[in-house]
Chain A
Amino acid sequence: MAATDATPKDLTHQILYALSEAEPLLSAEAFPQAAFTDLKAALDRLGSREMVKYDTIDREEAILEAEGETIAANGSHEARVFEALRQAVEGLTVQELENTIGDKNVTKVGQSKAFKEKWISRTKDGKFKTARDSIEDVTKEQVQTIRQTRTHPDPKVIADLKKRKLIKTQKVISFKIHKGPKFALEIAKEETDLTADMIASGAWKTAAFKPYNFKALGADQNAGALHPLNKVRSEFRQIFFEMGFEEMPTSQFVESGFWNFDTLFVPQQHPARDLQDTFYISDPKAADKPRPTGPDDTRDYEEVWDNVRQVHENGKFGSIGYRYPWSPEESLRLVLRTHTTAVSAAMLHKLAAQRGKDGRVPPARYFSIDRVFRNESVDATHLAEFHQVEGVIADYGLTLGGLMEFMEIFFGKMGLTDLQFKPAYNPYTEPSMEIFAFHKGLNKLVEIGNSGMFRPEFLESVGLPKDLRVYGWGLSLERPTMIKYGISNIRELLGHKVDLNFIERNPAVRLDKD
């Protein structure tokens, strides 16, 4: 209901009265003095009540420049020169001519133009005199026409005068107004809405209703909303559930170096363990050696500890190891987990103690999506915190081809197909594969995740049997979300700088639909 009542009432009435006398009504003729905005508002007001209809007329108008005005009043320069000479029968010198006309410029331009038109000529003694009896001052007539009608029937004339800088043109919008279906001289009171009172009283039967503006947006819902990143997270969780995955307990930001690195066969001098990359904890001081989580936990933690030490220091499980003095103190330093794989390590250790009906460690599928921490310098694509999506499949007889096939299915559910796998290096998976997909928008292969088969040094250290192979893969939650929504700065997605309007208006996530 965009009509406004701020326009002068009388203008709407004037329009109605004028329209009752003559239809169609040209606003430029009927209301030449009315300001455009007032006129438009009045017409909209009447139009919304269907009392009038109108078309907009775009028109070029010609307006006289100062020089044009002088010509309209006094005649063209050449005509003034002719007239002066006509009155001075004996002819005039340049100086006399200038004195008579009283304007040096007019004299100069007029005299040369009059020569060209052959209206005047020069006597032997250098004076000017008329060369004919009378002239027709065409220019004067033209500008006078324009002053009256704001145009000229001959477009060439307008172009010529414009070139001579006597006139300028400007665009003018005016209206051609017709009667509408509800035309009347008075504006009837119209209801804007159907109300309970009207239904109760029956007034709706006779009331006139103002037409609804179907072009305007509806009312703001003051809607609540879930965070876009969590909406994507929820899609990922759904995919994991569809594929039989159990969610891992990741409520543990603080990890020991043992679970976060050593168990995973990340050597103690690995760059990822640098102060530059990992957040270390100053308080509390250090972790305890791995130990049972409760009275029901009968696993041999001492064995895991020794396995890990030996596999790093001297090699074990068919591995020659990294062959360096392994430090228990380094292993017990506390860190903010740099990946949720620390949780996977603990889960696989737990799995190793389980037995299926066949007496073997049962196959399992685990996943998690949770926060991880890196001591990164913050920039457009890096934050000290982000979310890792992690999946683990433990089973017998798994092959690399199966891992790739799984990735095709997993990412296929997000509309990513035709994956490519690139050999890569990761200390705890071997083989390691970076997963690439073709991105239509970016028109290139983009890396969408990392995957591999966990190293035996890790799996056998936590007690899993040699023939149980384990796929692991991971990706950040933020990266696919940023690609999906064309966000270039991660701070616009995670953290306190995120715009609340963005959260409220972000559409539903449909990963399978583009």
Chain B
Amino acid sequence: MPTINVDKYRLFEELGQQFTADEFQELCFDFGIELDGDTEEDPSRPKDQAPELAIEIPANRYDMLCFEGIALHLNIFRGKHATPNYRLLDIPESKMQSITVKKETAKVRPYVAGAILRNLKFTEDTYQSFIALQDKLHQNLARQRTLVSIGTHDLDTIKGPFTYEALPPKDINFMPLNQTKKMDGAELMSFYESDKHLSRYLHIIRDKPVYPAIFDANRVVCSLPPIINGDHSKITLNTTNVFIEITATDQTKLDIVCNIMVAMFSKYCEEQFTIEPVKIISDHNNTTRVTPSLATRAMDVEVDYINQCCGLEESPESICKFLSKMAYKAEPSKDPKFVTVSVPPTRADVLHACDVMEDVAIGYGFNNLPRSSPNKSATIGKPLIVNKLSDIVRNECAMSGWLEVMPLILCSHEENFGWLNRVDDGKTAIKLANPKSVEYQVVRTSLLPGLLKTLRENKSVRLPLQIFEVSEVAFKEESQERKARNERRWAAAFYGKTSGFEVVHGLLDRVLSMLRVAFITHEGGLEGKDIDFEVKQNPSKSDGYWIEEINEPTFFNGRAAAIYLRLGGKVQRIGEIGVLHPTVLEKYELRYPVSTLEINLEVFL
């Protein structure tokens, strides 16, 4: 959520009320913005500076990303202000300023819009707010200028008609804003490479064959979007006629940004809330039009739908009243089942009747809505079987004196493979594309790394340590839609002065016998530990589990076994048990021997 800092005294003046902290907090809460800070009592605030409020704005309210928007909408909500009627000055197209779009722009940044604010008077405060709004729009809706970027100019320093062109970098030569020498597109890229602020936008066009630029009638470069404006046309506190040009890669967002910019600051025009349009001549793709659109959108919304969702029984008239608090113009339609809502050009977030319905609920007050029973129909609770199975194993382990741990599911490639003396065959592990740290390179394919790291971080705890985890690992799986599958596992580790192999083995026996699986020895055929184990026809083919020595580099030679399970006649290897190899211990910085077991639990489902 974007946070906007506003001058507290100015805002309260604009709202016409001196709020107490609680009162203002409550207003924000009811409206759905969040008061995040108030520097009034902050001892570090310089005496000559007015206190600031930090206000968090929900991500969809682009029309509240500046002081003007916040003040306006809070005033409308409080019934102190009507929704402004933004309108375009009536100028024949032939006399309009124009931007002619060259077809090469399609290769780099295809869309442009323009608008002019006439006879506007900036103060220091409004000027700063004007700059800050551009910045907030660039950061949020415009996704760091990739989608949209805004250039503002003193119209009295340049002369239309304008052109929007895309030229090879060498052919664009101008003095960038606040610089003292001219440079071409290529020089500009290296000049701003180390600039803290602008360097992060260079990538957007850097490697393109052509760079976009706005020229005036005298070939003055107004801007090189999305990087920087020209110094020639820069706006100052004294600028009275502002030319706004906006370029974009996304047509919808271009229009939103254009409408918001002019709507917020047309307030300061001599003729309030009027905007001089600009004709965009774009014959190559048949999108010649006049901007900004400032179109209000009419929607017919069902009264019943609103009332039912909100649990209300309000008349169309009263619904319209609630909507007017949220900056809509709404009136009962001829058909009494509907209200006709006109969505102001600034409310680009309203996509569906549900958005209107929510605003009725906010206008009414969420916390005032009548409560009703949520229990319309009876449903039956049901646990997931694999979780029930896991709970049995978890409880048995804990009852046997083992501690449950919850390490992370992501780990480094080394922890998952190399440190366990395992080799990545490239077919098993899911790898992450953009981790911020090596700790998150792969999705674990074994529970062991997490257990061993937990032991490593708990060396000061009294020995022996007996820990377990029941959780999931994941594997690549081509046959699945999502190319991956999870597997529910159970693992345990013993850390002490002796290897503890028999302790871990005992835990395996205990848990499996609780799952009604008997231990089978090779020679004896069967040594049923389970009280109700039934010997079927052939004891050597009966259900049960056994362990068989293996030689795998994760484990110490002669101290490891695979765990086999025969269920319903089907034999599968379900895991391993063993004393870890000393080289594994060394990698995990463990000084004492460790025995582990790890099995797939899903076979018991």
Contacts and interface: CB of A to CB of B under 8 A. Distances in A.
Nearest to A325: B250
Given A279-B434, A496-B456, A269 B147 contact: yes
A282 B404 contact: no
A430 B61 contact: no
Contact of B406 (A223, A280, A378, A495): A495
Contacts of A376: 436
Given A224-B402, A284-B478, A400 B381 contact: no
Contacts of A73: none
A280 B431 CA distance: 9
Contacts of B377: 362-363, 395-396
B352 A318 contact: yes
Interface stretch (A101-109, A137-145, A189-197, A251-259): A251-259
B506 interface: no
B481 A290 contact: yes
Interface stretch (A44-52, A166-174, A238-246): A238-246
Interface in B460-502: 461, 465-467, 472, 474, 476, 478, 481-486, 488
Interface string A227-242: 1011000100100111
A500 B376 contact: no
A424 B437 CA distance: 32
B404 A425 contact: no
Interface in B400-430: 400-410, 426, 429-430
A421 interface: yes
B352 A430 contact: yes
Count chain A CB atoms within 10 A of each CB in B252, B309, B376, B482 and give the residue with the most. B482
A401 B370 contact: yes
Interface string B326-364: 000000000000000000000001011111011001100
Contacts, number: 303
B218 interface: no
B32 interface: yes
A404 B309 CA distance: 12
Contacts of A247: 382-384, 387
A180 interface: no
B138 interface: no
B31 interface: yes
A420 B367 contact: yes
Interface in B258-301: 297
Given A240-B381, A241-B381, A501-B461, A425 B309 contact: no
A328 interface: no
Given A279-B435, A456-B352, A254 B430 contact: yes
A209 interface: no
Contacts of B61: 425
A244 B353 contact: no
B398 A226 contact: yes
A431 B326 CA distance: 14
Interface string A212-225: 00000000001111
Contacts of A322: 252, 351
Given A251-B488, A397-B308, A498-B454, A282 B381 contact: no
B556 interface: no
Contact of B484 (A222, A334, A456): A334
A372 to B, nearest CB: 10
Given A254-B483, A336-B443, A399-B308, A242 B436 contact: no
B453 A496 contact: yes
B297 to A, nearest CB: 8
Given A247-B384, A377-B436, A400-B311, A224 B29 contact: no
Contact of B398 (A224, A430, A455): A224
A471 B409 CA distance: 30
A321 interface: yes
B143 A271 contact: yes
A513 interface: no
Nearest to A420: B367
Interface in B376-394: 376-384, 386-387, 391, 394
A425 B58 contact: yes
B443 A253 contact: yes
Count chain A CB atoms within 10 A of each CB in B32, B374, B399, B408 and give the residue with the most. B374
Contacts of B362: 423, 431
A254 B484 contact: yes
Interface in A362-408: 362-365, 371, 373, 375-378, 383-385, 393, 395-406, 408
B60 interface: yes
A488 interface: no
A280 B383 contact: no
A498 B59 contact: no
B457 interface: yes
A400 B432 contact: no
A234 to B, nearest CB: 8
A182 interface: no
B384 A375 contact: no
B309 A422 contact: no
A455 B433 contact: no
A41 interface: no
A146 B213 CA distance: 101
B131 to A, nearest CB: 22
Given A224-B397, A245-B379, A284-B478, A319 B403 contact: no
Contact of B382 (A246, A336, A424): A246
B440 interface: yes
A248 B384 contact: yes
Contacts of A334: 482-484
Contacts of A398: 309, 374, 376
Nearest to B381: A241
B515 interface: no
B190 interface: no
Contacts of B376: 363, 395-398, 402
A385 B408 contact: yes
B384 A254 contact: no
Contact of B252 (A284, A291, A324, A395): A324
Interface string A276-316: 00011111111111110100000000000000000000010
A384 B286 CA distance: 48
B313 to A, nearest CB: 11
B369 interface: yes
A456 B472 CA distance: 34
Contacts of A245: 379, 381
Nearest to B481: A288
A497 interface: yes
Contacts of A285: 483
B570 interface: no
A371 to B, nearest CB: 6
Given A242-B381, A422-B30, A423-B31, 19 more contacts: A244-B381, A247-B383, A247-B387, A249-B384, A254-B430, A254-B474, A259-B482, A269-B250, A279-B440, A283-B426, A283-B429, A289-B481, A322-B252, A373-B410, A393-B374, A403-B374, A423-B58, A457-B351, A496-B450
25 contacts: A227-B404, A227-B406, A230-B406, A249-B386, A254-B430, A259-B482, A269-B143, A279-B435, A286-B483, A287-B483, A319-B351, A363-B376, A400-B309, A406-B374, A421-B367, A422-B29, A425-B58, A431-B309, A431-B362, A455-B352, A495-B408, A496-B405, A496-B453, A500-B454, A503-B403
- Report the 8 A-B pairs with minimum CB-CB distance, sorted nearest first: A423-B32, A399-B311, A425-B58, A406-B374, A254-B484, A496-B453, A431-B358, A284-B483
Interface of B: 1, 29-32, 34, 58-61, 140, 143, 147, 250-253, 297, 308-311, 349, 351-355, 357-358, 361-362, 366-367, 369-374, 376-384, 386-387, 391, 394-395, 397-410, 426, 429-437, 439-440, 443, 450, 453-454, 456-458, 461, 465-467, 472, 474, 476, 478, 481-486, 488
Interface of A: 222-227, 229-230, 234, 237, 240-256, 259, 269, 271, 275, 279-291, 293, 315, 317-324, 334, 336, 362-365, 371, 373, 375-378, 383-385, 393, 395-406, 408-409, 420-425, 430-433, 453, 455-457, 469, 471, 494-501, 503-504
